[in-house]
Structure 1
Amino acid sequence: MAGKTEGGFVETIKTIIWALIIAGVFRTLFFQPFWIPSGSMKDTLLIGDFLFVNKMAYGYSRHSCPFSACPIEGRLFGSEPERGDVVVMRHPTRGVDYIKRLVGLPGDRIQVIDGVLQINGEPVGLRRVEDFVETFAPQGSQGGSPRCANAPVGAGGTCIKERFVETLPNGVEHSILNITDSGVADNTPVYTVPEGMYFFMGDNRDNSEDSRFSAATGGLGFVPAEYLIGRADRIMFSSAGRSLFFFWTWRGDRFFKAIE
């Protein structure tokens, strides 16, 4: 009886090990789960959105593996990202994953003037649409409250942000939010994107640590190609509560929603 028990235990351990290996290979080569923790990409991505990152989109680098452990120099099977892609990347200095929108390709000149993105000396297209409205209340597992254009707003009040549709030079359209018309994020110097690097911005333009700020000062800076992990294509589901297990807080209109 003891031999059978020991044999069953060994088989269980083998099954668990193989399951972990298969899951690790799947996560490394194909799709990585990603949970949106902050509001920097509103309203494209909301706090509590759960998505899978397509890791085949740009090929593989050492950052494709957990803990940046892949023994790869440069990129393997690499392909170029497109302007407007929503990309998950490893932060160049913090060692954590970020998600932002790609707006600047190698060689581009990027600037923001009065809140309007300029690419190679030309302003992008902007079209005013209806305001983005949400409740002023703690959001997600971090419990942070949103910033509002109509601040101050009391708990449970209506938080408003101006919303625009931005059109990039390649025709990609997506919505962006505006909270304030002042601050260093709305008027920047000209950034010339070096070869082999990319420039990213959050869609919630006044609430995003992105390439407008250097990594040394708490931003993202230019991102080398090898730090790109994959492209975010579709939201699988979304929870407005503090945990994905609070199924009563799931947002029914965001199941399998394409990311634009």
Structure 2
Amino acid sequence: MMAKAKSDGGFVETIKTVFWALVIAGVFRTLFFQPFWIPSESMKDTLLIGDFLFVNKMAYGYSKYSCPFAMCPFEGRIFASEPKRGDVVVFRHPVNGSDFIKRLIGLPGDRIQMKDGILYINGVAAPQEPAGVFEEVYEPQGPMRNLPRCENGAVGAGGICKKSRFIETLPEGRQHHVLNIDTNGFGDNTDVFTVPEGHYFFMGDNRDNSQDSRYAQAVGGVGFVPAEYLIGRADRIIFSSAGTRMLYFWTWRSDRYFKAIE
């Protein structure tokens, strides 16, 4: 009887331990981090389809979209620190409510323009230096089975899809890769966008394959994003799956474990 009582007690303690571990994990996730799985190629080659990461919700403080509670006692955003140009940020689309991930390019008051595929910030070009070619197999990618767009034209199934890669340097000196697909594409030449106060301007690193702030919300673009729609900053990839399901561990990319996002 004593042995059975001890056994029952041990089982109850195990259940309690598991329960509280799940509670703590849930609170930790709600308060500090949000998981995010990359569904599209708009941020290649910085982020690939199938990259799994956690978004740091504390990076910029809380807003009504990153608040850990059902109701927040404030409107707008309470900043812990201001977002910085070059940050990779997850935010809520101001119109359709979807979560997007892009690079922060324009701060409030900035003037942003694209000319011949070159980014201009307040009238000054962000220089680009050639950095080789990004290559991938032309095949369906991820659970949505998206086919990549290629600079080298229609390569056919199983062919090598290529995009020119450049290192872009922002005014503060931060650098990141950008890819090119089209020459004089639709987003390569734009009017000047003046970012309103309390808003931000975002772009994808895969410049010719990103519906970002260069495109009006009325046509499916992001437009200017209000500060309260920012959810958090993406700092590091946890792991990456090249397959159709995140848990297909045999498809995980061995070179992307805990990879810093630049």
Answer yes or no: same fold by TM over 0.5: yes
Q: Identify the range of structure 1 (14-23 vs 93-102) with the bigger mean alpha-carbon deviation.
A: 14-23
8 A Cα contact 1:180 1:206, kept in partner: yes
Partner of 2:114: 112
Partner of 1:193: 195
Residue 18 of structure 1 deviates from its aligned partner by: 5.5
> RMSD between aligned alpha carbons?
2.2
Partner of 2:3: none
1:173 and 1:91 map into 2 onto residues whose CA distance is: 26
Letter in 2 for 1:255: Y
Partner of 2:6: none
Residue 12 of structure 1 deviates from its aligned partner by: 9.9
1:158 and 1:117 map into 2 onto residues whose CA distance is: 28
Partner of 1:167: 169
2:15 and 2:226 map into 1 onto residues whose CA distance is: 40
SS at match of 2:228: helix
Letter in 2 for 1:114: D
Letter in 2 for 1:134: E
Question: Where do 5+ consecutive residues of structure 2 fail to align?
Answer: 1-11
Partner of 2:37: 35
Q: Identify the range of structure 1 (216-225 vs 10-19) with the bigger mean alpha-carbon deviation.
A: 10-19
Per-residue CA deviations over 1:213-233 (Å, capped at 9, x if unaligned) read: 111110000011111111100
Residue 134 of structure 1 deviates from its aligned partner by: 0.3
Superposed, 1:12-23 pairs within 5 Å as 21-23=23-25
8 A Cα contact 1:112 1:187, kept in partner: yes
Q: 1:23 to 1:65 in 2, by over 3 A?
A: farther
Letter in 1 for 2:95: T
Letter in 2 for 1:163: R
Per-residue CA deviations over 1:78-131 (Å, capped at 9, x if unaligned) read: 321000000000111111110000010000000000110000011101101110
Partner of 2:138: 136
2:36 and 2:108 map into 1 onto residues whose CA distance is: 26
1:127 and 1:41 map into 2 onto residues whose CA distance is: 18
1:16 and 1:63 map into 2 onto residues whose CA distance is: 29
Letter in 2 for 1:220: V
Select the residue among 215, 219, 229 that pairs with 1:227. 229
2:224 and 2:15 map into 1 onto residues whose CA distance is: 44
SS at match of 1:216: helix
Residue 19 of structure 1 deviates from its aligned partner by: 5.6
Letter in 2 for 1:227: Y
TM-score norm. by structure 1 comes to 0.91
Select the residue among 109, 123, 140 that pairs with 2:125. 123
8 A Cα contact 1:61 1:70, kept in partner: no
Partner of 1:76: 78
2:46 and 2:152 map into 1 onto residues whose CA distance is: 21
1:24 and 1:35 map into 2 onto residues whose CA distance is: 18
Residue 25 of structure 1 deviates from its aligned partner by: 2.4
TM-score norm. by structure 2 comes to 0.90
Residue 183 of structure 1 deviates from its aligned partner by: 2.6
2:145 and 2:13 map into 1 onto residues whose CA distance is: 43
Residue 65 of structure 1 deviates from its aligned partner by: 4.3
1:245 and 1:106 map into 2 onto residues whose CA distance is: 40
SS at match of 2:140: coil
Letter in 2 for 1:113: K
1:22 and 1:93 map into 2 onto residues whose CA distance is: 33
8 A Cα contact 1:63 1:70, kept in partner: no
1:22 and 1:86 map into 2 onto residues whose CA distance is: 27
8 A Cα contact 1:93 1:215, kept in partner: yes
Q: 1:141 to 1:65 in 2, by over 3 A?
A: farther
1:133 and 1:39 map into 2 onto residues whose CA distance is: 13
Is 1:178 equivalent to 2:203 in the alignment?
no
